[in-house]
């Protein structure tokens, strides 16, 4: 194995279709118009020396190292900033060029420390490389004069020198090594879009600084690492590289955090991970990443990680470590006993959106073929099940319609119920780039998310609606489009069912759907709604991106349909730049849904009652499948409380922390006789478990994840599983213990089975993925290269279906006892329930969950910023500290749910989406009052958690 080396072409590729031919060093080359001479040379295999250029950003032309000569033109233009022209003849190496380059390098080196041997960048330093490339042999100037290298000059304090900034937990900034090439500044602006870095001062005084001369961690910096990746020297360097040294091989794999699905090179030394570097060929992220994927992998070595299987009789007993064989035999006999005693339907399983497609597939197969029922569900239930339902009804398939590249062609983006800069940071960076190019933005969210106004980005409209009124707003927008004659009738006649459209159009045109009529309960001024609707309908390619703020409502499915209606009525479907794009929370939400994790459908979204589909699997698996839908997670818990559901196998999910109404979940789990949890850590659900099976990380297994654009990305093993088995092996061994004759030697064989049974995956195999990098399903004979954009020539279901979307107020209403509405969300540095990120240095950015409250509501209650407050709903209460901000409107409060001690879900109720039972996390009526410490529930809970984490023979884990 080798390091995957990526070619840096120096400047971004030109998108022009016109070609130009020129000669470089006597070689003829043809490139698109607008390409730089530097890039053209590199494509011809000639590397022009460079320092300030990189193909991740626009050329800047400051270092003067990349000069070339052009026949018939005077001077020496910089090849990075000079575009090609037809017929020119370029020389990259002449005596004059050599002399100038050496002179430039000599100046750089004369103000640079010469400690190359002990420098962290040794082996990966472009400054060193360039000194070598230009043949620099000696440096005539010493450090006696002005320099940035020495803290003291002849005993005097050197004001040009600055100390290292080590405030960021993941990288250091050593100004003494900076050559002021400004690649970091431009990466932060152009790639990340945060504008945290600047070059201050001029000439010899110029230097890089974060924020207003702050340290990195106090600045606007979001620690994405783009600047570290861009820096040609050791100035910005990963701390892991400083500690370990340079990597010797690398493997391309996929981030296991969010639904963007960034591709990374895992750079290794032996089995030690040195660093993660975003892969430029990664088609979702194009060489960029966020702090989680790049840096927050330390949890895989965390001391809390459990590496041995454990059993206990009662959940009040301490855990007892056992062998894998004992654990498997125990689970098999318990599940058999329970099924014998309480019936076949008394057990079930939960698949994980964090695990691979192959692992998810195996868990649902174990439930259907091994347990003989369809009681399988996934954590996607609590986030995107309404997407599946809504898009299936309207378009005919349960998936987003675009790839991420599509945003480069968008003219108007609507973001509703999502906070991409925190939840989907790499997508946010790509969107911001497009906004800086002039695209318009409409934000529909109760809270003023960062995108509404941040560096060089300003939304044209922010519709700060009352939580729970999405359907009313979207239907009002449809009202404006239909009644103002902005509907795209040509598209609708061709692609949709016309009579259904007419029915729908008449429905939305009713005066009670107008923005003026709905303003009363949405709280959004009618003019804003009208303006936003007009902009979306008329300003070119319109794309809608949405998140959990749409789905996690009692009308989640209706909202998804309303979004689909808007896209159809404006003809914004079936080409680049448009579409309906669910932003998936966890890495493999899409995949876990695709793989048949829902109780009513087999892989590929085929209903369990469909005889032909069942037959396909029955033949292959040699069993008869039950044709009745099974229980969903909330139904399983209800059945457990009723005494008819007794055993559950939970792979990689923490339902106690992630599902609503914690007390109800706890009661359900406590009523079961055998709860099996497979995870990296003793998560909250494990407090109620009888068997714990240790899990493996994404670094330790092979498989695939499917991201929010339906892209199937490979996950590649870079080290052996610390717990002994990859998760798919654990499920397989469990199945074998239950008497199933599974015999997969490698996850690729599982994928082959998926491809053989699921038409949308027909051409997918590991060989094919290795060849293609990644593909977007459907990938079959009809679409051998995969499908970046769906519904291109027609909807999957045939004709697009308009569905009436009547607003129904949630029953969760604020009133005298609970006058405020709570809505929940997430922040950048943490992920879901935080089990992984809380076990990394990311805690420096978010040590606790805080309650955001408007100054007006805070003042009324005598609450000051930072005070402890009691947050109570009709379900329960908790305490946390207040953060006073006008990001939330009066009457609305907001919190995240990353820390178990906060227990935000003690507060949320058991209301759920009418169609899918997706919980209504986004609206809970609450009261907030001053408090002086943790609630009784928090104290009891902590005590119970502490008790239940005891392991016999081990000291209590001090968490």
Partner 1 sequence: MSENTNAKLIYMANQIATFFQSQPAQEAAQGVATHINKYWERRMRRKLFEHIEAGGEGLNPLVIEAAAKIRKPEAA
By the criterion CB under 6 A, which residues form the site for ligand FES?
50-53, 61-66, 78, 80
User: Residue 770 binds what, of ligand FES, ligand SF4, partner 1, none (CB under 5 to 8 Å, by partner type)?
Assistant: none
Question: Binding partner of residue 63 among ligand FES, ligand SF4, partner 1, none, CB under 5 to 8 Å per kind?
Answer: ligand FES
Nearer to partner 1, 221 or 566 (CB): 566
Q: Quote the CA–CA distance of 585 and 595 in Å, as a whole number.
A: 17
**Rounded Cα distance, 933 and 518, in Å:** 41
Decide: 442 and 412 in contact? Cβ < 8 Å. yes
Closer to ligand FES by Cβ: residue 232 or 420:
232
Query: What is the distance between the alpha carbons of residues 468 and 920, in angstroms, rounded to a whole number?
Result: 9
To the nearest whole angstrom, how small is the minimum distance from the Cβ of residue 269 to ligand SF4? 22
Closer residue to ligand FES, CB minimum distance, 131 or 268: 131
Question: Among ligand FES, ligand SF4, partner 1, none, what binds residue 804 when CB lies within 5 to 8 Å by partner kind?
Answer: partner 1
Q: What angle do CA 587, 653, 373 make, to 5 degrees?
A: 105
Q: Are 51 and 130 in contact (CB under 8 A)?
A: yes
Q: What is the C-alpha separation between 483 and 508, in angstroms, rounded?
A: 9
609 binds partner 1 (CB under 8 A): yes
Q: What are the Cα distances from residue 239, in Å, to 89, 121, 170, 244?
A: 45, 11, 5, 9
Q: Among ligand FES, ligand SF4, partner 1, none, what does residue 222 contact (CB within 5–8 Å per kind)?
A: ligand SF4
Quote the least distance from Cβ 460 to ligand FES, whole Å: 37
The DSSP code for 287 is T
Q: Are 750 and 366 in contact (CB under 8 A)?
A: no
Considering beta carbons, is residue 4 or 667 the nearer one to partner 1?
667
377 vs 753, beta carbon nearer partner 1: 377
For partner 1, give the closer residue by CB, 23 or 644: 644
Question: Is the Cβ of residue 296 or residue 918 nearer to partner 1 in the bound state?
Answer: 918
CB of 41 to ligand FES, least distance (A): 12
Both ends of the chain: CA-CA distance in Å?
39
Among 224, 259, 299, smallest CA distance to 835 is for 299
Structure tokens at 430: 């790509």
Closest approach of Cβ 700 to ligand SF4, in Å? 17
**Interface with ligand SF4 (CB under 6 A):** 178-184, 187-188, 192, 194, 196-197, 208, 221-227, 230-233, 235-236, 255, 257-258, 260-262, 285, 289-290, 292-293, 425-426
Dist CA 599 CA 601 (whole Å) = 6
Cβ closest to ligand FES, residue 55 vs residue 519: 55
Q: Which helix (H) or strand (E) holds 507?
A: helix 498-509
The backbone region for 532, taken as left when phi is positive above 0, alpha when psi lies in -120 to 50, beta otherwise, is alpha
Q: What one-character DSSP code corresponds to residue 396?
A: S
CB of 698 to ligand FES, least distance (A): 37
- What number of CA atoms fall less than 13 Å from residue 426's CA on the CB side? 32
Rounded distance between C-alpha atoms, residue 429 and residue 435, angstroms: 10
CB closer to partner 1 out of 345 and 700? 345
Q: Do the beta carbons of residue 849 and residue 832 sit within 8 Å?
A: no
Interface size with partner 1, residues (CB under 8 A): 33
Q: Which does 917 bind (CB under 5 to 8 A by kind): ligand FES, ligand SF4, partner 1, none?
A: partner 1
Q: Residue 455 in contact with residue 901, Cβ under 8 Å?
A: no
Please name every residue paired with 171 in a beta bridge, in sequence order, or none if there are none.
Answer: 238
For the bound state, the minimum distance from the C-beta of residue 504 to partner 1, rounded and expressed in Å, comes to 10
502 binds partner 1 (CB under 8 A): no
Contact positions with partner 1 (CB under 8 A) in 802-841: 803-806, 808
Q: Which does 51 bind (CB under 5 to 8 A by kind): ligand FES, ligand SF4, partner 1, none?
A: ligand FES
Q: In terms of CB distance, is 381 or 717 closer to partner 1?
A: 381
Report if residue 506 touches partner 1, rule: CB under 8 A: no
What is the pattern of x (binds partner 1, CB under 8 A) and - over residues 315-354?
A: ------------------------------x---------
Task: Give the other-Cβ count within 10 Å of 697's Cβ.
Answer: 23
Q: Look at strands 376-378 and 774-776 and give their pairing.
A: unpaired
Minimum Å gap between C-beta 629 and partner 1 is: 6
Indicate which single residue of 635, 736, 944, 947 sits in contact with partner 1 (rule: CB under 8 A). 635
Q: Binds 178, which of partner 1, ligand SF4, ligand FES, none (CB < 5 to 8 A, cut-off by type)?
A: ligand SF4
- Residue whose CB is less far from ligand FES, 49 or 825: 49
Rg (CA), the chain: 29
Q: DSSP secondary-structure letter at 586?
A: B
**Nearest distance, CB of residue 219 and ligand SF4, angstroms:** 7
- CB nearer to partner 1: pick between 311 and 637: 637
Q: Quick check: 628 binds partner 1 (CB under 8 A)?
A: yes
Nearer to partner 1 among residue 333 and residue 627 (C-beta)? 627
694, 307 Cβ separation under 8 angstroms: yes
DSSP state of 165: B
CB 622, min distance to ligand SF4, A: 38
Q: Count CB-CB contacts under 10 A for residue 31.
A: 22
Host H or E run for residue 878: strand 877-884
For partner 1, the closer CB: 607 or 864: 607
50 binds, among ligand FES, ligand SF4, partner 1, none (CB under 5 to 8 A by kind): ligand FES
Q: Is 607 in the site for partner 1 (CB under 8 A)?
A: yes
Between 79 and 912, whose beta carbon lies closer to partner 1? 912
- The count of other CB atoms within 10 Å of the CB of residue 834 is 25
What are the φ and ψ backbone dihedral angles of 392, each rounded to 5 degrees?
-65, -40
> Site map for partner 1, 555-594, x if CB under 8 A?
--xx------------------------------------
- Minimum distance of ligand FES from residue 162's CB (angstroms): 24
Closer CB to partner 1, 34 or 629, in the complex: 629
- Virtual torsion, Cα 847, 853, 855, 857, nearest 10 deg: -140
Nearer to ligand SF4, 58 or 638 (CB): 58
Q: Count other C-beta atoms under 10 Å from residue 98's C-beta.
A: 12
- Positions 434 through 493 that interact with partner 1 (CB under 8 A): none
Closest Cα to residue 544, out of 383, 402, 405?
402
Shortest reach from residue 225's CB to ligand SF4, in Å: 5
Q: Which does 631 bind (CB under 5 to 8 A by kind): ligand FES, partner 1, ligand SF4, none?
A: partner 1
- Cα–Cα distance measured from residue 218 to residue 845, given in angstroms and rounded to the nearest whole number: 10
Please state the length of the chain. 959
Within its chain, how far is the Cα of 275 from the centroid? 19
* Burial environment of residue 623 by CB neighbours within 10 A (0 to 12, 13 to 18, 19 or more): middle
At a CB cut-off of 8 Å and minimum separation 6, what does 883 contact? 850, 851, 852, 853, 865, 866
345 sits in the region (left: phi over 0; alpha: psi -120 to 50; else beta) called alpha
- The one segment of 41-49, 207-215, 628-636, 686-694 that binds partner 1 by CB under 8 A: 628-636
Q: Which does 492 bind (CB under 5 to 8 A by kind): ligand FES, partner 1, ligand SF4, none?
A: none
- 375 contacts which partner out of ligand SF4, ligand FES, partner 1, none, CB within 5 to 8 A by kind? partner 1
List the beta strands (DSSP E) in 133-291: 152-153, 156-157, 171-173, 197-200, 207-210, 236-238, 249-254, 263-269, 272-278
* Given 113, 540, 629, 891, the residue binding partner 1 (CB under 8 A): 629
> Footprint of partner 1 on this chain (CB under 8 A)?
345, 374-375, 503, 554, 557-558, 599-600, 607, 609, 628-632, 635, 638-639, 641-642, 644, 803-806, 808, 910, 912, 914-917
């Amino acid at each position: 194995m080798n390091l995957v080396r990526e070619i840096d072409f120096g400047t971004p590729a030109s998108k022009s279709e016109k070609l130009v031919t020129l000669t470089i060093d006597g070689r003829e080359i043809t490139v698109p118009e607008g390409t730089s001479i530097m890039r053209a040379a590199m494509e011809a295999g000639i590397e022009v020396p460079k320092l300030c250029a990189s193909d991740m950003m626009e050329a800047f032309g400051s270092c003067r190292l990349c000069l070339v000569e052009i026949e018939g033109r005077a001077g020496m233009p910089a090849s990075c900033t000079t575009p090609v022209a037809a017929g020119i003849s370029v020389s990259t190496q002449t005596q004059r060029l050599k002399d100038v380059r050496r002179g430039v390098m000599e100046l750089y080196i004369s103000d640079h420390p010469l400690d190359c041997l002990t420098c962290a960048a040794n082996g990966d330093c472009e400054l060193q490389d360039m000194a070598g490339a230009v043949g620099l042999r000696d440096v005539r100037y010493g450090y006696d004069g002005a320099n940035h290298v020495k803290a003291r000059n002849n005993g005097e304090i050197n004001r040009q020198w600055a100390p290292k900034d080590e405030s960021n937990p993941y990288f250091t900034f050593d100004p003494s090594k900076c050559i002021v090439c400004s690649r970091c500044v431009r990466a932060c602006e152009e790639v990340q879009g945060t504008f945290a870095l600047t070059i201050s001062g001029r000439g010899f005084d110029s230097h890089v600084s974060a924020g207003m001369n702050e340290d990195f961690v106090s600045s606007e910096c979001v620690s994405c690492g783009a600047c570290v990746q861009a820096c040609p020297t050791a100035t910005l360097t990963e701390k892991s590289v400083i500690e370990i040294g340079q990597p010797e091989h690398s493997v391309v794999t996929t981030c296991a955090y969010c639904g963007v699905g960034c591709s990374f090179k895992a750079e290794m030394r032996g089995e030690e991970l040195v660093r993660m570097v975003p892969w430029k060929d990664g088609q979702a992220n194009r060489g960029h990443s966020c702090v989680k994927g790049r840096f927050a992998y330390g949890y895989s070595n965390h001391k809390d990680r459990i590496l041995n299987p454990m059993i206990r009789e009662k959940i009040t007993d301490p855990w007892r470590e056992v062998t894998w064989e004992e654990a498997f035999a125990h689970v098999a006999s318990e599940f058999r006993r329970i099924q014998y005693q309480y019936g076949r339907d008394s057990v079930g399983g939960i698949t994980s959106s964090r695990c691979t497609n192959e692992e998810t597939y195996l868990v649902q197969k174990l439930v259907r073929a091994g347990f003989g029922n369809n009681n399988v569900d996934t954590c996607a239930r609590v986030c995107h099940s309404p997407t599946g339902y809504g898009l299936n009804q309207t378009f005919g398939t349960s998936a987003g319609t675009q790839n991420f590249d599509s945003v480069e062609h968008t003219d108007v983006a609507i973001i509703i119920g999502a906070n991409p800069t925190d939840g989907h940071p790499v997508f946010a960076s790509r969107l911001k780039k497009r906004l800086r190019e002039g695209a318009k933005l409409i934000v529909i969210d109760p809270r003023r998310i960062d995108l509404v106004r941040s560096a060089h980005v300003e939304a044209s409209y922010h519709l700060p609606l009352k939580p729970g009124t999405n359907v009313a707003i979207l239907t009002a927008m449809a009202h404006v489009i239909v009644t103002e004659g902005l509907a795209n009738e040509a598209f609708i006649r061709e692609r949709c069912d016309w009579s259904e459209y007419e029915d729908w159009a008449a429905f939305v045109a009713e005066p009670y759907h107008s923005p003026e009529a709905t303003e009363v309960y949405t709280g959004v001024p009618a003019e804003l709604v009208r303006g936003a609707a007009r902009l979306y309908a008329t300003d070119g390619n319109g794309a809608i991106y949405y998140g959990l703020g749409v789905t996690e409502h009692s009308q989640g499915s209706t909202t998804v349909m309303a979004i689909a209606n808007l896209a159809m009525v404006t003809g914004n479907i079936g080409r680049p730049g448009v579409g309906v794009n669910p932003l998936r929370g966890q890495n493999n939400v899409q995949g876990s849904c695709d793989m048949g994790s829902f109780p009513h459908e087999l892989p590929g979204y085929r209903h369990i009652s469909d005889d032909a589909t069942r037959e396909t699997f029955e033949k292959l698996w040699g069993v008869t499948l039950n044709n009745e839908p099974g229980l969903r997670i909330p139904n399983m818990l209800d059945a457990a409380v009723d005494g008819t559901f007794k055993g559950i196998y939970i792979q990689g999910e923490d339902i106690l922390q992630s599902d609503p109404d914690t007390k109800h979940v706890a009661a359900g789990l406590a009523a079961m006789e055998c709860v099996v949890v497979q995870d990296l850590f003793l998560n909250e659900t494990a407090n109620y478990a009888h068997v714990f099976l240790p899990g493996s990380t994404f670094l330790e297994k092979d498989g695939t994840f499917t991201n929010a654009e339906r892209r199937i990305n490979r996950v590649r093993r870079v080290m052996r599983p610390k717990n002994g088995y990859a998760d798919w092996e654990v499920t397989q061994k469990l199945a074998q213990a239950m008497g199933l004759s599974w015999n997969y030697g490698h996850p690729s064989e599982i994928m082959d089975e998926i491809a053989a049974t699921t038409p949308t995956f027909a051409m997918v195999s590991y060989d094919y993925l290795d060849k293609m990098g990644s593909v977007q399903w459907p990938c079959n004979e009809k679409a051998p290269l995969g499908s970046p954009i769906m519904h291109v020539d027609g909807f999957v279901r045939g004709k697009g279906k308009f569905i009436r979307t009547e607003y129904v107020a949630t029953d969760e209403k604020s009133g005298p006892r609970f006058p405020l509405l709570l809505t929940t969300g997430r922040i950048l540095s943490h992920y879901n329930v935080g089990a992984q990120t809380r076990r990394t240095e990311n805690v420096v950015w978010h040590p606790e969950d805080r309650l955001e409250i408007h100054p007006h509501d805070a003042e009324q209650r005598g609450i000051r910023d930072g005070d402890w407050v009691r947050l109570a709903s009709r379900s329960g209460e908790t305490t946390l500290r207040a953060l006073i901000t006008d990001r939330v409107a009066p009457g609305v409060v907001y919190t995240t749910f990353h820390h178990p001690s906060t227990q935000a879900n003690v507060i949320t109720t058991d209301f759920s989406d009418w169609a899918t039972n997706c919980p209504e996390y986004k609206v809970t009526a609450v009261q907030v009052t001053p408090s002086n410490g943790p609630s009784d529930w928090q104290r009891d809970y902590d005590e119970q958690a502490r008790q239940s984490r005891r392991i016999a023979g081990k000291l209590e884990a001090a968490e």
